[in-house]
Structure formats: C-alpha cells, structure tokens
Structure 1
Amino acid sequence: MKTISLGKNGPQISRLGFGSMQMASKMPHDDKECIATIQALMDAGVQFLDVADFYGMGRAESLIGQAIKGRREQAFLSVKCGAMFSPTGAFLGVDGRPKAVKNFASYSLQRLGVEVIDLYQACRVDPEVPYEETIGAIADLIQEGKVRHLGVSEVGAAHLRIAHGVHPVAALEIEYSLACRFIEAEILPTARELGIAVVPYRVLADGLLSGVTAEGGSGNGHFAVPRLQGENLEHNLKPVAFLKELAAAKGYTPAQLAVAWLLSRGEDMVPLIGMSRRTRIPENLQTLDITFTAEELAALDKAFAPDAIMGDRYPPMVMKLAAR
C-alpha cells in the first residue's frame, strides 16, 4: 500500500481511505461481512478508517470497533461529529458547542473501544457557535490525550484559516470529484498553503460517476440530490458518457477512473472509498495502479469543466451548511 503524510509533518497513512457510511445505511447489511471487509482492507494496508458518530446512529462506529479489536495499531481512526437526526431520519441540524463536541467524543471512544481517536472533526460549521470555540474543544481533547490530530470537514477557506489559527489542522474532509470541483478555486490552494491534507468524500458523486445512477439518486441516505434529478441528470450524463468511453478504452470501470483521477491531483489527496463486501476490494485497490496521459487528463478536464455539472450537490436545507 502506498502511503502519504497526513498534512505537513503528519503521520504516514494509506493512500486510500475507507468511508464507512455505506455500510451503516438503512439497507440490510451482514454485520459479519462488514467486519470482515474492514479487516480485509486493513490486511491490504488501508488503515485510514473514516466514520461519523451519526452514521447509522453509532452502527458504523460499532462495526469498526469490532473490526479493530486486537489490532488497534493497524487502524488510523478519522471520526466526525455534530450532525443530529431524529429517529425517523430527519435532519435536525448541527451542534458545535464545545460541551456537545466533548460529549460526542466520549460516546465515540466507547463505541470504537479505544482510548484515543487519531483524527477528530466537526462535520460542519455550526452557524450559532463561533468556529474557534468548536475547534477549541477538539484542541482540549488533544491536550487531554483523547485525540491525536485536528481535522476539519466541509469548510471554506476562511474557516480553514480560523481553525488552523487555533490549532494546526492535519486534514480537510470535503466533497471533491470530477463532478464536483468547487474546491479548486480557493479552498484547495488554501489547504496546500497551510500544509493540510485533503480527504475527498462522495468521490463518485452519489453514483453519477459510476455510470449507473438512477434518477433522484439516494444521496447519503437522507437527502434527494438535485444534480441527479430530471433535466439536471439528463444533462450530467453527457460528460459521464465520455468517462465511460475512456474507461472502456483503458480497460477499467468509470468508477475506477474517477478515483484514479483524484489520486492524480496530488500527493496530498486521500480519497475515501466505500463498500460493504470483500469482493469489491480488488477493484478499488486497482485504482492505485491507474495512470493517465497528459492528453487523457486534458480531455477529462474539458469534459468535467467546473460548469459541466448542473444542480447542487445537496438540497437547499443542507447547502446552507456546506462549504462553497
């Protein structure tokens, strides 16, 4: 497994990370297979395990906790907190109050069965709480030895600088893919200026870049995705058609090329791949071996120019809390 440094002078981590949201979805999953999948990924060298306390309302953390039991040293745990949901799955907003952040961490440590979390971050900026206070709570957890590194999630350049001013930030988790390139204008240059690694999530744009997306999409299990609906989807399938053609010509799947493209963007990228079955592991790991010619990269850049994809990545209520 190839490794990179997580941010400036940070720990060495696997080039790919595992995103656990999929296996915590409402779809029926075999817990034993999920645990075996995480362990097989670790055997292959993927130690960056990304989770949130609200993925399945603790289910994903519990699965990871079982998977890493007895092999904690092989796992790098990246944990998000802050999002709130009702028992029916309704989104209730975010809570970035310092007391809440520390409380969330207590439960995550228990479910994961560990003494310390490697990377901890609030999933969004709470508009009712000064961001430096939210970050300060994580800095306190670092001083207490309960967290090793500070991460941030879904923030713009200004908030990235605020966080880094409170405590050095190791990584920024944010949506980034061929179909979602808004971070390239200001956020990505700021992260690189500050020496912060980037952890792209939704790397297949809710399935759009896999070429098998149904109208409406399932998003992250809670929201309908505007870019996957009606005329937006019809328009967006045009650049995807080119991706499928290129993938076929190179002997790969569109999804593999989409992940490989992210890897080609720089040594500071740690794309998150999701799966709930071991059979998917070889296909995902093969992305590490894919290379592009300069002509192929230019063609992808043209097909997926910043204005190529129509429709927002979240519904309006969630876009209010998303980075731009």
Structure 2
Amino acid sequence: MKRVELGGLSVSAEGLGCMGMSSVYGAADWDESIATIRRALDLGVTLIDTAAAYGIGHNEVLVGRAIAGRRDEVQLATKFGMDFTTARGKVVIRNEPAAIKAAADASLLRLGTDYIDLFYLHRVNPQVPFEDSIGALTELVEEGKVRHIGLSEVTGEQLRAAHAVHPIAAVQSEYSLWTRDPETVVAEAARALGVGLVAYSPLGRGFLTGTVDPARLAPTDGRRRLARFTDEAATANQAIADGVRRIAEGKGATSGQVAIAWVASRSGTLGIPVVPIPGTKRVPWVEQNAAALQVQLTADDMAALDELAGQVVGARY
C-alpha cells in the first residue's frame, strides 16, 4: 500500500479504525478483532487508530495485544481527554496539563509500548487554554513518549492556535460522502499549515455500504441514537446508498470501496493529505476495505457522488 505524509509522519494511505471492536457498534469478539488488526498489517494497513475512551481503555489493551511483536510495523494513533468514568453516557473533557500527562502514561501502559506515534486531543475543552494543553503535549514529545501531535474535531481557528504552539501533524474528523463538514470548517487552515486530515467513518458509519439495515441494529448499537438512522431519515437516505451501489456495480467493486475511494480522492481536491480510517471488526471487511484504494473514480463518477452528497436527510448527531 502506498504511503502518505502527515506532518512528517509516514503512514499507510488507508488506516484501520478500531473503536467498534470495543464500543458503540454492539458486540465484538476479542480473538476476531485481534485477527482483524493483524490481517490489516499483513495487507500494509499500518496506521492503527484507537483511543482511551473506546471501551474505557479496553480498546487500547486489545490493540496493544494485537500489535505485540510487530510494533515496528505500526504507526500507532490514540487519543486522550474524553472521560466516561464519571457516569454512563456522560463525558468530561480533560485537557488540563496534569490530566494529559497522566493519560499518556496510562495509554502507554495499556498499549504495551514506550511511545505513541500520533497522540490526539480527542475533544476540545474551551475552558482550558490551548497553549496549556499543547504545551503539555510538547513536553511529551520532548520526553520521547509522543512522536507527533494531533487534534480531533477542531475548527480552523483552533488548529491555527494549537499549531502556533507546536506543529500539528493531523486533524481527525468525521468525513464521508454524507458528512463533509471538514471541507468548510478546517480544510483551509490545514492546507495553509501543511496538516493532514484523517477521516473517520468514511463509510457513513456503515450506511454507505448498503449492508446496514437501521431497523435491525442491535439495541446496544449507538447508531440507533443518530438522526440519519431513524426510520424516516434512513428511508430517504437509502437513495444515497443506492446511488453509490450503482457506481460500484459499474466498476466491479463494492459500495464500501467506492465510498472509501471517494474520501481518499479528496486529497487532490482539498490540497491536503486525506487518509481514510474505515473501522471494522472482521477480517473479510478489512480485506475488502484495503482494496478500495485500487478503485479508480472518473470525473463523471465524482460528479454523480457529489450530487448524492446534497441529498442527506438528518443531522450528523
């Protein structure tokens, strides 16, 4: 798989999001998840994405076990700052320096490593000055515990403020055919500063694959709380999934591969590196996703997909 530069960090052009192996999307199997991560590495997918918040530490432990003995192959990305331990469904954003340093040590322990390639501030707490948070991250870089700093779900103004303290390698945001906020919220600043975009949920939380029936999601599946997956919205949004499927059928590809290929292709349009990190917890899907970058989209394909993007029904949250 080809490589992409994120602020000096060389990563695979597609990564693997591991959240669903521990939380949000219903039950997952530990052994199957481990096998999925290891198969991703075999396929050249080396940017492995996790977070302390996923399963409240469970996901980092799982990822650490999966990459044991193969650490040198991996660009390991994790995130800090979303504390779900206070009460179920409630989150406290912890961006203060002492909390950041404690979070880094805890993540290193769970991951079984002595450094993190890309350490993201998971969400912004506006009550904590950026210079304080990024200052603490800078100290972690100087100590060798962190190689590169990232931010998740930020605006261009926030990115510029952080970058003024220490270079930021990447911004992670939800980005797909039906979620295009980064194009207007942060892309301009990222382009000016040489910062990459890591796109999570490039498959529209699975909807764009055409294989997800919102009515049959497990009771524990977090998508049941999302507006786009309600009965009325899902029925309307099926036209988008159908449009993606028609393009995929013409190429002998899957809908998911077309959706991922679209996200990866936006690098040229936006003028910044764009790395999709589709999530899965099963080997067949990671194999299918890894082949997505071989799908070639024509100008006509892109125009048709852009038209579909304007039809989405329902807010992102």
Equivalent position amino acid for 2:34 in 1: I
Measured in 2, the distance between the counterparts of 1:29 and 1:299 equals: 35
1:312 equivalenced with 2:312 (yes/no): no
Equivalent position amino acid for 2:209 in 1: S
**Equivalent position of 2:253 in the other structure:** 252
Measured in 2, the distance between the counterparts of 1:223 and 1:98 equals: 35
Unaligned runs of 5+ in 2: none
Unaligned runs of 5+ in 1: 315-324
Equivalent position amino acid for 2:277 in 1: L
Equivalent position amino acid for 1:299 in 2: A
**Equivalent position of 2:74 in the other structure:** 75
The structure-2 alpha-carbon separation of the partners of 1:126 and 1:74, relative to structure 1 and needing over 3 Å to count, comes to same
Deviation readout 1:204-243 (Å, 9 max, x if unpaired)? 2222212224059689738711122243333322222211
User: 120-129 vs 152-161, which deviates more?
Assistant: 120-129
1:49 equivalenced with 2:48 (yes/no): yes
User: 292-301 vs 216-225, which deviates more?
Assistant: 216-225
The alignment's TM-score, normalised by the length of structure 1, stands at 0.90
1:37 equivalenced with 2:42 (yes/no): no
User: 83-92 vs 146-155, which deviates more?
Assistant: 83-92
Indicate which of 282, 288, 310 corresponds to 1:283.
288
Determine helix, strand or coil for the equivalent of 2:242: helix
**Equivalent position of 2:214 in the other structure:** 214
Q: How does 1:70-149 map to 2 (within 5 A)?
A: 70-86=69-85, 89-149=88-148
Equivalent position amino acid for 1:231 in 2: E
The structure-2 alpha-carbon separation of the partners of 1:77 and 1:223, relative to structure 1 and needing over 3 Å to count, comes to farther
**Equivalent position of 1:321 in the other structure:** none
The alignment's TM-score, normalised by the length of structure 2, stands at 0.92
Contact 1:216 1:224 in 2 (8 A): no
The structure-2 alpha-carbon separation of the partners of 1:215 and 1:162, relative to structure 1 and needing over 3 Å to count, comes to farther
The structure-2 alpha-carbon separation of the partners of 1:52 and 1:220, relative to structure 1 and needing over 3 Å to count, comes to farther
Measured in 2, the distance between the counterparts of 1:4 and 1:301 equals: 24
CA displacement at 1:112 relative to structure 2? 0.6
CA displacement at 1:186 relative to structure 2? 4.1
The structure-2 alpha-carbon separation of the partners of 1:159 and 1:203, relative to structure 1 and needing over 3 Å to count, comes to same
Deviation readout 1:185-216 (Å, 9 max, x if unpaired)? 24112211110011000112222212224059
Measured in 1, the distance between the counterparts of 2:234 and 2:265 equals: 26
Determine what percentage of the aligned residue pairs are the same residue.
40
Q: CA RMSD in A?
A: 2.0
